[in-house]
Structure 1
Amino acid sequence: MRILPILLSLLLFVACKPGRPARQPVLVSEDTTFLTGTFYVIRHAERNPGPDSTLTIAGEERAGALYRLLKDSGLNKIYITPYKRSVATADSLRIHLHLDTCFYAADTSGESFIYQVTRHEDWGKRILVVGHSNTIIPILHSLRARPHTDSIGENEYDRLFIVRKNKDGTTLKEICY
């Protein structure tokens, strides 16, 4: 008989126990450098025919023009695809400015580029990105930039997209070089 009042008291205690408090949303303040930076996005320079080809003479001249254009821009790093034409396009800047490079996969979503920048903690930096005619626009979209076109022509090698990302948004400037 003594057990019954103890069980009832225990049951009453459990029944009257207040429920868990409702979760309150926690405001997430974005890190000042995450998803920020200045990105100079270009297509590799003119190339010889073939799947992993070298640059033509015109391509070498364009790579030199790129060097002259960006040598004083304060670049911190170069992101390139693992193809000879991409590496050769950025070589002058890499060698003369002693810049570190990172390879990313030439995908048509821009995901590999974003993954590598995050993995290497390169947000907030000034980065040259060398891509291909079918990867440039997806990279711009992954950076939340809105280019005026949805494609780059097979013979277009002279476009430089400058994407500036900060906490207030993204700006895009396009120039020919």
Structure 2
Amino acid sequence: MKKLIFIFLLILSCTMQSQQTHIYIVRHAEKDISDKTNTNPDLSKPGKQRAEKLLSVLKKVKFSAAYSTPYKRTQQTLKPIAEYNAVEITDYDPKNNQQLAEEILNIYSGKNVIIAGHSNTILEMVKAFGAKKPFEEISEDDYSNLFHIIIEKDKVNLESSKY
């Protein structure tokens, strides 16, 4: 019996020591620009295809939460992933990146979270989680960045890719 308890505690200790939090950050997909006066446009057809591609790239990741700015284009970018993972999309204010980062790390430590933002906000979000920005800005026509932040204890790693 003591041997079983020891093995259980050893396994528990190992899993707690190697606990990683995974944060995925993307810019919203291509928006519909046919109506220049619309300040909250839907995704365009290519944008909807990109949102589906994002799901196919991240299908093996089990997300515990999805965060989006309160705009249609960011919410629609995460919709396929949120539906696939049966999670609600939670709105956040992109002016409060540090607050959101702290909230996510407190609530979802050891889990996977995805965040959708904008070309002028996602690099600051990367920074809010303690990672170094991989470049200074994202151009207005670049929708393909996928930032994966891995946090383990006080160590923060950033993997930057295109999808």
Q: Which of 23, 28, 40 lines up with 1:44 in the alignment?
A: 28
Structure with the larger helix share: 2
Name the Cα RMSD after superposition: 1.9
Q: Return the alpha-carbon distance in structure 2 between the equivalents of residues 89 and 83 of structure 1.
A: 10
- How far residue 94 of structure 1 moved from its aligned partner, in angstroms, is 1.1
Q: Return the alpha-carbon distance in structure 2 between the equivalents of residues 116 and 169 of structure 1.
A: 18
Alignment-derived partner of residue 67 in structure 1: 55
Q: Return the alpha-carbon distance in structure 1 between the equivalents of residues 31 and 103 of structure 2.
A: 26
Alignment-derived partner of residue 158 in structure 1: 144
Whose Rg is larger?
1
State the one-letter code of the partner of 2:104: V
State the one-letter code of the partner of 1:95: E
- How far residue 116 of structure 1 moved from its aligned partner, in angstroms, is 3.9
- How far residue 75 of structure 1 moved from its aligned partner, in angstroms, is 1.5
TM-score if structure 2 supplies the norm length? 0.80
Structure 2: runs of 5+ lacking an equivalent: 1-15
TM-score if structure 1 supplies the norm length? 0.74
Contact map agreement 2:29 2:77 (CA 8 A) in 1: yes
Tell me the secondary structure at the aligned position of residue 147 of structure 2. strand
Alignment-derived partner of residue 140 in structure 1: 126
Contact map agreement 1:105 1:112 (CA 8 A) in 2: no
Structure 2 vs 1, CA of residues 154 and 54 (structure 1 numbering), >3 Å: closer, same or farther? same
Give the % identical residues: 27
Contact map agreement 2:62 2:85 (CA 8 A) in 1: no
